[in-house]
Each structure stands twice: as structure tokens, then as C-alpha cells.
Structure 1
């Protein structure tokens, strides 16, 4: 677990999240590749503050071996980015990475990677990336085979600061579902200026185009998690919204995806 973050208060939450993710991943947690069980293991941190990607223990087939090879490459890229950050100088420069695996099967394995860094700039930065693997092929999922075109929209390849690459979805319908689930109001809740600013920030589009959104599968929440980047001034507004599996079914998601999510959710809430 990371030591208490002594950096500005805006980053203490990131440090706590990193430590919590490390604890979760240090536990051998069962996953399901197709019909057979597998186990995720988390190697020791790559270096202080930089979590290693979890790997499938005792991989049973080529697909699982491909996933392990892929996450090792991600580790190498993260270390390279951290070394470059440090070389830019500055006594207080740093790089931290936390990793979580919110879906561990059946069929799909999700990773969520959060990098936090200060590399000589005026302020710290943070970035979240997500990758979902198909446990039967060992390749990242093709969202166009799992979600209707109304939810995938325009696909693009994005690269994070740690050189992690992922596919983003730019869909007006997906953005609308995100906004529908964003910070739901309860009876008696009030909207202050900060909340209003956040709602405006996530609603804003550029030239009428929806934002490029990352997506991953979340077993405990039971749905498709969606998030997108915002400018630094309102970065704290970039909440993750989970679209429930029931909604995904109504929108036309493939039964394969919905069934896997439901099975994973049933295991996660036991």
C-alpha cells in the first residue's frame, strides 16, 4: 500500500485510491475464462508508487498467455514514461500508477489504469485508461461486435500518458445515457455552483460532436462503465457512470455481453 500522500490535497484521494487498488489486486481473486476458473495475481510494484499489471496465474491456454504478454508490455511502457518524467528534472517530480480489475470473467477481463504525475509542469495531472480483453481470444474486445452502432458511434484509438492505448467510443446515444446517470439527484438535494459547473462541463460538446468515451465492464456495479476526459480546471467533474445491464439489453447489446455481466454481477455481490 502506498504511503500517505503528502502532495496537494487534490491528489490525496488519488493516493488513497492507488493504495486500495493495490490491496485488492494483491489478493488472489478468481476469474472465469470461458467455463474454467483462473486466478489473477498481482506482482510486486514495478517501482515505488507504480503498480504492476495483474497477470493470470498459471495461464491455461494461448489466449491467457497472450493477455499476460500484453500486460507485461504495458508495464514496460509505464516504466519508460516514469523514467522520462524523472529525467525532466525537479525535486518533486513523480509518477504513480494504480490498477484495478473490475471484471474478472466470465468471458471478459477489464483493467482500469489510473496514472498520476508531475513532470516539471505547473500542476499535477491524472488520467484514466481502460482495456477489456476477451478471455477466449486474448485480444482486446471489438466493441462493434458487442454493442449496437448507436452506442459505439465513431471509434478511435487513444494513447494515455503511460503509452497505454485503448479504443474510445464517440456516440451521441452513449453520451445521453451517461448524462442520464450522472450524479442522480435525490429528494431534497440542491444544486450549488460547483455542481452546476460540473453538469455543464460534462454536457458540453464540441461542434455538436459527442466526447470520445472510454468504456469497461464492471461486475460489482453490473454494467458498462463510461467515462471521458475533461480539461484540468474541471477534471474532478469527470465521474464514472455505469449503464445497467438491463439498459444495455434494451439498447441492443449482444446477449453474450449482457449474460456475462449478469453472471459476474451475481458472483460479485454474493
Structure 2
């Protein structure tokens, strides 16, 4: 698929529109419910997803969309084909509920099993990231619900003084600590949602190890931005990290295995285990 400026802008506009809806609800005393897996969901998740789906139907007609809240409601495309879209309308609902601002809107386009384009918007932080593999990545500020001052972004080379590692606020366990023992770590930074991919993409950090389960809609957009910026995402066992996973023997459809995301840092020495998914809840 050709990602011309019109298509890229359409995906950006969809994420920004969802972000504006989320922020309108963020300013209220919103209610929090629980889904079947006990993860939180709010009206913001549902309304943002509806906006994105409406826009995608016009922007990419006929292309299957796998969206988090639709999947939770049992609405999954029967067949994905070689091209499909993964949507997480509010990645980091826990961050949204706790009002720390580190939640994102994720739209990722997957072709032949790998993300080829993605948009990650962080409306509460006033940041948006966008990338197309082979065409580069960029970031902008969000001002009054619109993206301004776009700038190109790229990963950085491994610092001589040690790497900056991004770890989830509540998901770093014994396996992660063992892995990080193999690295020369200068700083560890806690961060939420798909922003971790974007911090790698813009050269603010070097490694994001995720030794626990996530879902494909959590990672596709950030994966695309990072890859477009020159970074990499691989399974924790070193194998390619792919999308469109269904009928998995040991876990749910669209569940991810463990992975290592990096900027200019070589993760070759960090390969662990079999990269299997676990029953740890996604972010």
C-alpha cells in the first residue's frame, strides 16, 4: 500500500480527533468499569474507538480493523488478509484513570505481518508521533487539538556511558531484572503505554524490554514509529516479532510474546527463553 501524504494525514487526523474526545472526558468525573479480564474501561475508550473506526472506514475502505473494544465485545474480522489495522483507542487506561497523563491513542497499519505505518498521540502530554517504515518518523506538539511544528526523529547510537532503559510502572519482574543485569544501565525510567516506543524513536532512551504479555493493538503503532525511526523490535528469543497471530495454542488471539524494543542498542546478547506469552495482563 502506498502511504502518501493524504493517507498519513488522515491517520494523524483520526488520532487527533480521538484525542480530543478523550480529553473532553478526562476533564469530567468519568466512571470506570471492568472488562471480562478485569482490566479497566471507560467511556473515553469506547467513544475514541468509535471515532477512529468511522474515520478508517472512509480513509481505508474494506481494510479489516482489529480494535480493542470491539474485540472485547466479540467483534473480530473473520479474515485479516495481508493488510489490516490495529487500534487501541486508549492505551494506558490505568494511566488515564490515575490522571498521570501517560496514555496514548494508537493506530497501526500492518502489512505482511509487520507494522508499516503508525500514529501514537499522547493528548494529555501534548505530543504526537507518526512514522512510515522506509519514509521516516516525525513528532509534533499538540496545541488546541491540532499537530504543530513537525520535526523528524531518529534513534540514537548506544551511549558510551550506559543505556537508558524504559520499564513499565507495574510489570518489571524477576525476568526483567535478570535481563537488565546483562546490560550497562545508566538510568532506568518508568513510563506507561506505547510512549516507551516513542521515547526510543526520538533518541531519549535505548531499550524497552517487555517480558510479559501485551496485545497487538498495544504495540503495533509504536512498533511502526520506532522501526521508521531506525529502531528494532524482536521477540525476546531473537525471532521476528509479527502481527495477526490467531489460533495460538497457549494464549489468546492477538496476544504478543515477550519482546525487546531498542533504538541503536544491539540486543543480541539479551536474548532470553523462548519468548513465550504469559498470562500477565496487558497494559
For the pair shown, the structure with the greater C-alpha radius of gyration is 1
Fold shared by both chains (TM-score > 0.5): no
Hey, which of these two has a bigger chunk of helix by percent? 1
TM-score (norm. length: structure 1): 0.30
TM-score normalised to structure 2 length = 0.29
Using CA pairs below 8 Å that are at least 6 residues apart, which structure has the higher relative contact order? Answer: 2
